[in-house]
Amino acid sequence: MITLYKSIKGRLHYWEAWKRNTKIWAHTGWLGHWGGVDKLPMNPGETEARAIARYTKELAVAKGYAPLERELQQLVVQYAIEAVDTDIREELYGILKNNLGWTGNGTCHGGDIGSGTVNLFCDVVDPALAVKSVVIELKKAKRLEGAVIATRVGNKFKVLWPKGSRKPFSLMGTRRKRR
C-alpha cells in the first residue's frame, strides 16, 4: 500500500492504493473524513506492484500528491481495566485501525495490556483530527466510556480526550494501591 498527500485549499487530502482481489483500490478523500474508493483494473499479467506504481504515477503524482513531509505522531487510546481481556484489546484495535485507515489519518499498529490498563498505539498524521473521528467511532461501538486519548509531545503525553482533562497520563495508567 502507498499513501500520498496534497494540500488543496488549506485542507490536507490523501490518495492511497492497494490490491484487493483482482483490482487496485484507489482510496481518496480529505484527512479525517471517510473517503471514496475507485476499483481499478489491472492489465493482464501485470503485477500488483507495477499496477500500483502505474496508478500512483497517473492518478496521484501527476496531480501533485507526494509523500508526507513530516513525521507521524503517536496517539494512545487507553482504558482502565479490572482484568486482562485480550478480546477487548482486539476489538478496540480493529475499530481504531479501520477508522484511521479509512480517514487517511494513519493506523493502529498494536497495543499492550496489563498493570490495570489496555493501551492501543497509533501513528497519525493529525492527532486533533484523529481524536474527532476516533471518538465518533468509539461512541458508535459503545466503547467511548472510560477512554483516555493522548498524544506524545516530546517524552510526555498530552491528553486530548476527554477534553479539559487535567489528570496526568501514564502508559501504566493509574495504579491502585494494594492494601
Whether residue 4 contacts residue 14, with contact meaning beta carbons closer than 8 Å, is answered with yes
**Residues 148, 74, 160: CA angle, nearest 5 degrees:** 35
Alpha helices in 22-170 (DSSP H): 48-55, 86-102, 127-140
Query: Across the chain, how many H-helices and E-strands are there?
Result: 3, 9
Coil, strand or helix at 89: helix
Query: pLDDT tens digits for 62-106?
Result: 999 999 999 999 999 999 988 888 898 999 999 999 999 999 999
Query: pLDDT tens digits for 141-153?
Result: 999 999 999 999 9
Least confident of 6-10, 159-163, 173-177: 173-177
Q: What percent of the chain has pLDDT over 70?
A: 96
Query: pLDDT tens digits for 33-69?
Result: 999 999 999 999 999 999 999 999 999 999 999 999 9
- Domain residue spans of the chain: 2-63, 73-161
> What is this structure's pTM?
0.89
Please give the backbone phi and psi of residue 96, each rounded to the nearest 5 degrees, phi first: -70, -45
24, three cell numbers? 487496485
Q: Which fold would CATH assign to domain 73-161?
A: Alpha-Beta Plaits (3.30.70)
